[in-house]
A and B are shown apart, each in its own frame.
Chain A
Amino acid sequence: MASLLNAARPPAFCPGCAHERSLHALDRAFETLALGPDEVAVVSDIGCSGLFDTFFAAHTFHGLHGRALTYAAGIKMAQPQLKVVVTMGDGGIGIGGAHLLAACRRNLDLTLLVLNNFNFGMTGGQCSCTTPPQAVVASGFLNALEQPIDICSVAAAAGAPFVGRASAYQPELARLLSEAIGYEGFAVVDIWGLCTGHYSRRNRLTPDEIERDMATLPTFTGLVARNQRSEYGARYRRVRDASAAGDGEEYEMAAIFPLPVKDRREIALLGAAGDRINSAGSLLAHAAILGGMQATQKNDYDITVMRGPSVSELILSPEPIGYTGVERPDLVVALAPEGVRRKAELFAKMAPTGRVLCEKGLVLPATAARLLEVDFKRHGFRRTERALAALVLLARGGDPITLAMLEGGLRRISRGEILDAGLDLIERAKAVPWPPRESQQ
């Protein structure tokens, strides 16, 4: 195979820049692997390392600073047969550190060349995440306050299965790069070299000194034994193809029961996180749909998962539903003070014909609605059971759903042990004396 370098665009690095050596080493690696221009994608980002894509006549993709690994991930997942080679500088590693860690963990078959020259060459020689503290750079004293990172140790610690460190002046660089590209998994090669435009004008640094400095760090020559595992893309496809189709697909429901009430009902279920308020709302909607109603359901809760209010607002109507807000509910189920506080303003707006089914002893805001108090605790219902039990009591009165609709809805949205427990709960709630003596505040 021939060189993949772009004959029309010769390299344009500063005289003496180490990147040019790395460029030719990468091209020799492509030749060694006999790769054609359509078999390689060179993905780069910002900085002098971002010139690499220009100098190759292959598939190329040049993007934003430090983000090359993210583009490469999409390309590789979409075109698994491509050899995807990413070039980044030490600057890109700094700004895109999260992507490096993620790539090491993920082990998608990409090859990352870090063109490490200890400073931002393109923007004036500022310090990067690999600048030694004693170096003189364009960031004043700031680099003296920070410690440089060892890219290879970080990559190995994050799970990279192939990690190499090399000087751009080593004759065996091309062989290391061809091994990295040939490796099926994420491979990182940290290539140290001179930035003659900035760094080596202010700091004494030679290829020999680079070798000496490298020798003070752990040696990385390729395979990291403890990180060997199967490649992400191949594994993704294997697991995906072995998985059954999603079980959560949407389903259509037809009306199989007569319409229980002719009018629209606005309903608010008020509880606390963990009270299964949202599940009860969903069940109520499903039951209503089986009775030929349309439904909307929106939930309100805090960002805390197992604490705070949980509210489900529903509109059930034989007619299409426009506005989804519940402002003057016909029915409120109040099970916990958290939910009552969240929607306190609803109570004053309720009409005398409205109903509030509430846990006995719960303090409610003033309302004209009829109060139906239930001592769920005395009847042996746990907190997680009370929302469903409340629906059973409502269904026993046939408004806004019937018991048959409720059971139909339950069979629609649950199965196995959950269904059995739900059916059992329905039976227990049928035994509660109902309706209670109504009270008014």
Chain B
Amino acid sequence: MGLLFIDGNQAVAMGAVHAGCRFFSAYPITPASGLLAAMLERLPAMGGIVLQGEDEIAAIGSCLGASMAGMKAMTATSGPGISLYSENISFAIGGEIPLVIVDVMRQGPSTGAATLGADGDVQFLRWGCSGGLPVIVLAPGDVRDCFTLTVHAFNLAERLRCPVFLASNKEIGMTRETVAFESIDKPSVSGRKHHQGGPFLPFGVKEGEEVPAFLPIGGPVPVRQTSSTHGADGFITTDPKQIQAGVDRLQRKIESHVADFMFHEFEKREGAGTLIVTYGVTARAAKVAGSMVLRDPGKPVSVLVLKTLWPVPEQLLLQAVEGVERVLMVEMNLGQYVHELRRVLGRERVHFLGKMDGRLISPGEIAKAVVHG
């Protein structure tokens, strides 16, 4: 069996192409620039489009235009670029524009350390939009996840008509590793639902449905898109009933289906007193730590690796914690996702290990925190 030797950014590009992405636009930024290179190697040759924006705002803006014109679109950046994406992320939420946004996180705050990794954006991705409506954030831990979760990200973005984030990290995006392509999970690809027959309302939703059927700008039926608060017809509205119904639907369509996409790995060990919860590249260290501690009899630990960060997979957390005295959240920041764990599981039993010094959290550090608290 042959092996690929690729980094996470390349794997995301491969997953995007597999998912049918044919429009990519970005502005160069370390550690995400490899994605621009990888998409340039692929899309033009297959008739797709790659643009280099004059800034991050232009990069995401052209994606929104292309997506509304019917193409599957993706953009990629790092923390400073997510800041500039913010207003257009809100637009993608409110305008129900399918888009995959890759954040190859680097150590912050601000321009931070361009060549060092961190997971410092995970709350920012959730809350970095005006209006505070929910978004979907998936977190890969290795090259294999980068491919698979990118395909899932497109499927969710298209199906639910929303932006979906891939929360990558310099330590994933720019780390090369061997992987057998045939062993990578390749989810089947789905697209957005198109309107068929009858009058078209750009944001009209049938009884019992939550996502408007789509028609592209540029097709035979005129389509309206707007960043303003709108009714089903796409025109501005100030009617409180229509407004509330609209934002309720935007929230419901994302949050009520999280059970369908609670991507995770759970290494459950009999008699485990401690549950390690983690995500991203730290999952690799946590799994090694789990087996290290296992060698110490009487101290087995379970490891839950979250690959869906938002919406918070609350049911999964509640199930995983059954029979466990202590939960240890490990993440490459000063304590972000741990707030979600404490909200769902209660403050008392949730402990935290994290740092943001540009280094990986090692298996030894995790094992020590498990054993010595």
Whether a CB of chain B sits under 8 angstroms from the CB of A74 is yes
Among A248-256, A260-268, A395-403, A423-431, the stretch that binds chain B is: A248-256
Whether a CB of chain B sits under 8 angstroms from the CB of A240 is yes
In the complex the two chains form, is A38's CB within 8 Å of B220's CB? Answer: yes
Whether a CB of chain A sits under 8 angstroms from the CB of B23 is yes
Contact mask B34-72 → A, CB, 8 Å, 1/0? 000110111011010101011101101111111111110
Contact mask A60-77 → B, CB, 8 Å, 1/0? 111110010111111111
In the complex the two chains form, is B45's CB within 8 Å of A75's CB? Answer: no
Whether a CB of chain A sits under 8 angstroms from the CB of B284 is yes
Question: With A54-B235, A71-B65 as given contacts, are A59 and B217 in contact (CB-CB < 8 Å)?
Answer: yes
Q: Which residues of B have CB within 8 Å of A251? A: 4
Main secondary structure of the interface of A (DSSP, over half): mixed
In the complex the two chains form, is B62's CB within 8 Å of A74's CB? Answer: yes
Bound complex: CA A81 to CA B30 (Å): 36
Q: Among the listed B3, B23, B25, B55, which residue makes an inter-chain contact with A98, where contact means beta carbons less than 8 Å apart? A: B55
Q: Which residues of B have CB within 8 Å of A183? A: none
Question: With A99-B58, A323-B285, A323-B360 as given contacts, are A67 and B88 in contact (CB-CB < 8 Å)?
Answer: yes
Bound complex: CA A183 to CA B57 (Å): 27
Whether a CB of chain B sits under 8 angstroms from the CB of A420 is no
In the complex the two chains form, is A64's CB within 8 Å of B45's CB? Answer: no
Q: Which residues of B have CB within 8 Å of A73? A: 51, 58, 61-62, 65
Among B119-127, B151-159, B223-231, B271-279, the stretch that binds chain A is: B223-231
Bound complex: CA A241 to CA B40 (Å): 13
Whether a CB of chain B sits under 8 angstroms from the CB of A227 is no
Complex: chain B residue closest to A40, CB-CB:
B222
Among A19-27, A117-125, A292-300, the stretch that binds chain B is: A292-300
> Which chain B residues (53-97) contact chain A, with CB distance < 8 Å?
53-55, 57-58, 60-71, 73, 87-88, 91
Question: With A41-B217, A70-B62 as given contacts, are A298 and B176 in contact (CB-CB < 8 Å)?
Answer: yes
Contact mask B229-269 → A, CB, 8 Å, 1/0? 00000111000000000000000000000000000000000
Whether a CB of chain B sits under 8 angstroms from the CB of A434 is no
Bound complex: CA A289 to CA B179 (Å): 11
Whether a CB of chain B sits under 8 angstroms from the CB of A7 is no
Q: Among the listed B69, B281, B360, which residue makes an inter-chain contact with A75, where contact means beta carbons less than 8 Å apart? A: B69
In the complex the two chains form, is A303's CB within 8 Å of B114's CB? Answer: yes
In the complex the two chains form, is B58's CB within 8 Å of A102's CB? Answer: yes
In the complex the two chains form, is B218's CB within 8 Å of A298's CB? Answer: no
For residue B371, give the distance in angstroms from its CB to the closest CB of chain A. 18
Q: Among the listed A54, A70, A79, A245, which residue makes an inter-chain contact with B61, where contact means beta carbons less than 8 Å apart? A: A70
In the complex the two chains form, is B54's CB within 8 Å of A98's CB? Answer: yes
In the complex the two chains form, is B58's CB within 8 Å of A325's CB? Answer: no
In the complex the two chains form, is B217's CB within 8 Å of A75's CB? Answer: yes
In the complex the two chains form, is B25's CB within 8 Å of A60's CB? Answer: no
Bound complex: CA A297 to CA B178 (Å): 9
Whether a CB of chain A sits under 8 angstroms from the CB of B14 is yes
Q: Taking each of A9, A78, A285, which has the highest tally of chain B beta carbons within 10 Å of its own beta carbon?
A: A78
Q: Among the listed A75, A282, A299, which residue makes an inter-chain contact with B65, where contact means beta carbons less than 8 Å apart? A: A75
Bound complex: CA A289 to CA B175 (Å): 16
In the complex the two chains form, is B61's CB within 8 Å of A67's CB? Answer: yes
Q: Taking each of A57, A64, A70, A294, which has the highest tally of chain B beta carbons within 10 Å of its own beta carbon?
A: A70
Q: Among the listed A38, A69, A74, A321, which residue makes an inter-chain contact with B64, where contact means beta carbons less than 8 Å apart? A: A74
Bound complex: CA A60 to CA B228 (Å): 13
Q: Which residues of A have CB within 8 Å of B64? A: 63, 70-71, 74
Whether a CB of chain A sits under 8 angstroms from the CB of B346 is no
Contact mask B1-39 → A, CB, 8 Å, 1/0? 111111000100010000000010100001000000110
Contact mask A298-310 → B, CB, 8 Å, 1/0? 1111110000000
Q: Which residues of B have CB within 8 Å of A70? A: 53, 57-58, 60-62, 64-65
Q: Which residues of B have CB within 8 Å of A433? A: none
Whether a CB of chain B sits under 8 angstroms from the CB of A407 is no
For residue A12, give the distance in angstroms from its CB to the closest CB of chain B. 11
In the complex the two chains form, is B222's CB within 8 Å of A38's CB? Answer: yes
Question: With A61-B68, A78-B70, A248-B41 as given contacts, are A324 and B220 in contact (CB-CB < 8 Å)?
Answer: no
In the complex the two chains form, is B178's CB within 8 Å of A295's CB? Answer: yes
Whether a CB of chain B sits under 8 angstroms from the CB of A141 is no
Bound complex: CA A252 to CA B1 (Å): 9
Contact mask A323-362 → B, CB, 8 Å, 1/0? 1110100000000000000000000000000000000000
For residue A320, give the distance in angstroms from its CB to the closest CB of chain B. 9
Whether a CB of chain B sits under 8 angstroms from the CB of A243 is yes
In the complex the two chains form, is B57's CB within 8 Å of A38's CB? Answer: no
In the complex the two chains form, is B220's CB within 8 Å of A64's CB? Answer: no
Bound complex: CA A250 to CA B68 (Å): 31
> Which chain A residues (73-94) contact chain B, with CB distance < 8 Å?
73-79, 81-82
Q: Among the listed B23, B41, B288, B362, which residue makes an inter-chain contact with A246, where contact means beta carbons less than 8 Å apart? A: B41
Bound complex: CA A332 to CA B146 (Å): 30
Q: Among the listed B55, B66, B360, which residue makes an inter-chain contact with A74, where contact means beta carbons less than 8 Å apart? A: B66
Whether a CB of chain B sits under 8 angstroms from the CB of A224 is no
Bound complex: CA A336 to CA B162 (Å): 49
In the complex the two chains form, is B235's CB within 8 Å of A9's CB? Answer: yes
In the complex the two chains form, is A240's CB within 8 Å of B44's CB? Answer: yes
Whether a CB of chain B sits under 8 angstroms from the CB of A322 is yes
Q: Taking each of A241, A254, A322, which has the highest tally of chain B beta carbons within 10 Å of its own beta carbon?
A: A322
Question: With A61-B65, A324-B281 as given contacts, are A81 and B218 in contact (CB-CB < 8 Å)?
Answer: yes
Q: Which residues of B have CB within 8 Å of A253? A: 2-5
> Which chain B residues (356-373) contact chain A, with CB distance < 8 Å?
359-360, 362-364
> Which chain A residues (148-193) contact chain B, with CB distance < 8 Å?
none
Bound complex: CA A248 to CA B91 (Å): 35
Q: Which residues of A have CB within 8 Å of B315? A: none
Complex: chain B residue closest to A77, CB-CB:
B49
Complex: chain A residue closest to B73, CB-CB:
A74
Bound complex: CA A58 to CA B223 (Å): 7
For residue A122, give the distance in angstroms from its CB to the closest CB of chain B. 12
For residue B312, give the distance in angstroms from its CB to the closest CB of chain A. 26
Jot down 27 A-B pairs with beta carbons below 8 A, ordered by A. Answer: A54-B236, A60-B234, A61-B224, A61-B226, A62-B226, A64-B227, A73-B51, A74-B63, A74-B65, A77-B23, A78-B23, A79-B69, A99-B58, A102-B53, A240-B45, A247-B41, A252-B180, A252-B181, A253-B4, A289-B5, A294-B3, A295-B5, A297-B176, A297-B177, A322-B288, A323-B285, A324-B281
Query: B-contacting residues of A (Cβ < 8 Å)?
Result: 9, 37-38, 41, 43, 53-54, 57-64, 67, 69-79, 81-82, 98-99, 101-102, 236, 240-241, 243-254, 282, 285-286, 289, 294-303, 321-325, 327
15 other A-B residue contacts (CB within 8 Å) besides A254-B1, A322-B287: A38-B221, A63-B88, A63-B225, A63-B227, A73-B65, A74-B61, A74-B69, A82-B217, A240-B45, A250-B10, A252-B181, A254-B2, A296-B177, A298-B174, A323-B285
